[in-house]
Structure 1
Amino acid sequence: MPHPPSVVTADLVETFELAPESLRPWLTELARMPTVLALSEPLAQIPQAATTIVLSAEHDGPRDALVVGPQTKATYWRPNKPAGCVRLRLAPGAIRSLLGVHAAELTDRTMRLEDLPGPAADLSAELIELAPEEVLPYLEDELPRRIADDPAQRDHRHLLAAAVASISADQPVPVPELAARLSVSERQLRNLFASGIGISPKHFARIDRVRKVLSHAGTIPWAELAAANGYYDQSHMSADFRTLMGVPPTMFFRGRLPAPTPCRPLTKLT
């Protein structure tokens, strides 16, 4: 069943640009969300396993640079004024070197970039003044000279990249088998995910599967979609979808969404 017109997700209205090779140690992509006007139905923000720097701009209003940590469940909101943004997705394992904190400290939280202790905070004032097409060239000039590529952090990034690729593959690997393939213990793997991504490997896999269900719904029957994404059966898929999205898939794709909620308040590190 395809997305009905009433279901609008941020992913559907964004355009994406892969980060250039020089920025791949820290960024995976730049996404642009055009100015969103008043909507009759809530805008769905589906779960996201990445930490994101959001350069927001209200229409003819103030600009801000925010850090949005991994979002473990969907949120629904209705814009009350025209606004657009640029989103910089951070690479797994890059959060510590860019933001100066472990990724788990950011999970389900939103903070101002300038309030974080990492070197990226010093770029906040410049970033919010740039046009979207100027952001990546600016970062290509600034990040390599501000951030030393520590060998240990580089090894962690490579290990996390391999783990993420395996979990996101068409035939995902169970966590115990994945740890064995990567020659680390399950505990080490969980610690790497907590510090470098902000969620456990199991929760990363759950988010990845629900995102695949959202992108492929309507192409094959529900039962086949469940089997193709590693669920035990259709009821398992429906229960997992409901936990992360707030409603079962049949309700979601009929446009019967949870009530919109206010944006999360900004927080600071304690």
Structure 2
Amino acid sequence: MTNALAEQSLTVPERARPWISGIESMRVTSPLPDSFTHAPDTAARLVVRVEADGRRDALVVGPRTRATYHTDAGRQVTSCTHLRLGPGAARPLLGVAAVDLVGRAVPLRELPSRTARRLARELAALREEEFTARLAELLPPPADTSRSRLLRAATAALSTHRDRTASAVQDVARDLSVSERQLRNLFSEGVGLSPKHYARIDRVRHVLAHAADARWAELAATTGYYDQSHMTADFRTLMGVPPKAYFTGRLPRATPCEAPAPR
């Protein structure tokens, strides 16, 4: 992230945690750069934007399978609040499967569920300091089904952490007593990605977060790659450039941002 943004993690109310896995508030503190990067992401997000003229809007931004590089010198956004949806939250909250949101940015009010329309109306009216207090009131009671518990267990097993690498997809399916096909269907509906692609993106995001903490070979080993060349190839596929080029600012050509225009 650029120094033009002041970022803050907000506490997710306990009652909202089955739906929301994290809340990030970003405020523009100085002129934004001409280009910016959206890294691959495994989660859909509700995004509340505030523009310089005070206009507010609420979007749903779906999972991203690869990095995108944008330029938008005319944008006037002064702050954003991102609410990361937990695994399996898209259908019950928004009325659509997560796979239908991949690579898209959609006005929240245009999604079919009553909850989506209420969130679009209420979230856009909230000030940043009101989010944690009001969020739990705006979300329905969680439905803790066997399917949702299975999906949470699977995403946890396929995620990379500092002290644990992701499990293999076939091992996760076996441990959860489902077939790999069942696991793929579960992920398509609840996450939007295949289990393999979920784990792949999560590994690259781990590299992005911890590249300053270790040498390349060490980072590759602790992240679960076969070796440094495997990490480099995977990073290049998802980010468009190899790690050394990315972290020294040699990025792909930026394209105009095509965010949905407010109505």
TM-score (norm 2): 0.89
State yes or no: 1:33 paired with 2:26: yes
Q: Distance in 2 between matches of 1:16 and 1:255?
A: 26
Q: Distance in 2 between matches of 1:77 and 1:253?
A: 17
Report 1:218-237 matches (<5 A): 218-237=212-231
- Among 88, 94, 101, the alignment partner of 1:99 is 94
Mapped contact 2:71–2:257 kept (Cα < 8 A): no
Q: Distance in 1 between matches of 2:258 and 2:68?
A: 9
The match for 1:23 is: 16
Deviations 1:27-68 (CA, angstroms, capped at 9, x unpaired): 111111112643445222211110101001111242111000
Deviations 1:141-186 (CA, angstroms, capped at 9, x unpaired): 1223xx5x445xx322211111111112413210001001011110
Q: Distance in 1 between matches of 2:3 and 2:192?
A: 23
Report the residue type matching 1:261 in the other structure: T
Q: Name the count of aligned residue pairs.
A: 255
Q: % of aligned pairs identical?
A: 49
The match for 1:121 is: 117
- Among 133, 136, 148, the alignment partner of 1:137 is 133
- Structure 2: give runs of 5+ residues left out of the alignment: none
Q: Distance in 2 between matches of 1:231 and 1:53?
A: 32
State yes or no: 1:55 paired with 2:48: yes
| 1:220 to 1:265, Cα distance in 2 relative to 1, 3 A | closer
Q: Distance in 2 between matches of 1:9 and 1:215?
A: 16
Q: Secondary structure in 2 aligned to 1:14?
A: strand
| 1:73 to 1:13, Cα distance in 2 relative to 1, 3 A | farther
Mapped contact 1:38–1:82 kept (Cα < 8 A): no
Report the residue type matching 2:87 in the other structure: P
- RMSD after superposition: 2.1
State yes or no: 1:112 paired with 2:107: yes
- Among 165, 170, 177, the alignment partner of 1:176 is 170
Structure 1 residue 125 displacement after superposition: 1.8
- Among 61, 69, 73, the alignment partner of 1:68 is 61
- Structure 1: give runs of 5+ residues left out of the alignment: 1-6
Q: Distance in 1 between matches of 2:125 and 2:33?
A: 31
TM-score (norm 1): 0.87
- Among 227, 242, 264, the alignment partner of 2:258 is 264
Structure 1 residue 9 displacement after superposition: 9.4
- Among 147, 151, 176, the alignment partner of 1:156 is 147
